[in-house]
Amino acid sequence: MTKLNYLNDTYAFESEAKFVEIKENEKGKAVILDETIFYPQGGGQPADKGEIVSGDNVFAVEDVRLDENGIVWHFGEFKKGDFANGNTVALKIDKDRRILNARLHSAGHLLDCAVLKMGIDNFNPTKGFHFPEGPYVEYEGAIENPAEAMAILQGNIDELILQDLKVESRNMNSEEAQEKGIHSPAGKSARVVSFAGFPICGCGGTHIDSAAEIGKLTVRKIKSGQGKTKISYFIE
């Protein structure tokens, strides 16, 4: 298993690791390390990009994935040279991309908080898409008057950002997670995230430290029908 250091610090843009091996599959060539700060695509959040470097040897990371065995695959190509087993390598992620993706992911969670404040019965998030290209959160349940709801929701969002709520995260053991209705593999911990004062949810993504770091968060559209509601948003 790869140690997932991105869970501990969103703002760790550089670190070191041990090179383990090169692997290949249908997606191409991938570097395997003993630990990583690179975020693998998942949970509605895109992967980090960057470089893995050892001396003059440089591997450009274009995609990152986590497999079913807990191994992180850093996909890309060598721009120069190669790595040898046991090499200490420097990891350098694209800082601007990481922060943008963390802001977008946290924005989706803050949107959930703003929706919760509206007090709509039987209205629960089911899917989040936090890519820069058209982010949204989808909910199970309907909104009768989307235009009216949009103004109320935007007011709630603006208020929460002004309060600069802190993002809190911690690990739960599997027993505690099951009691809270949060998925956790047997015998393994589950990471939960919340804005201060709001319910927790299981999440393995990267987040900024507080609501104000999201910046201006605007509801772009609410589409409701057939028992589902899609709320699209953007950040400046």
Q: Can you list the domains of the chain with their CATH numbers?
A: 3-93 (2.40.30.130), 98-235 (3.30.980.10)
Residue 210 is classified by DSSP as: B
What pLDDT is attached to residue 96?
A: 98
Beta-carbon contacts of residue 134 (< 8 Å; ≥ 6 apart): 232
Phi first, then psi: give them for residue 71, nearest 5 degrees.
-100, 130
What pLDDT is attached to residue 102?
A: 98
- The mean pLDDT of 3-17, rounded to a whole number, is 96
What pLDDT is attached to residue 140?
A: 96
pTM of the full structure: 0.93
What pLDDT is attached to residue 172?
A: 80
Kindly report the average pLDDT of the chain as a whole number: 94
Q: Is the pLDDT of residue 145 over 80?
A: yes
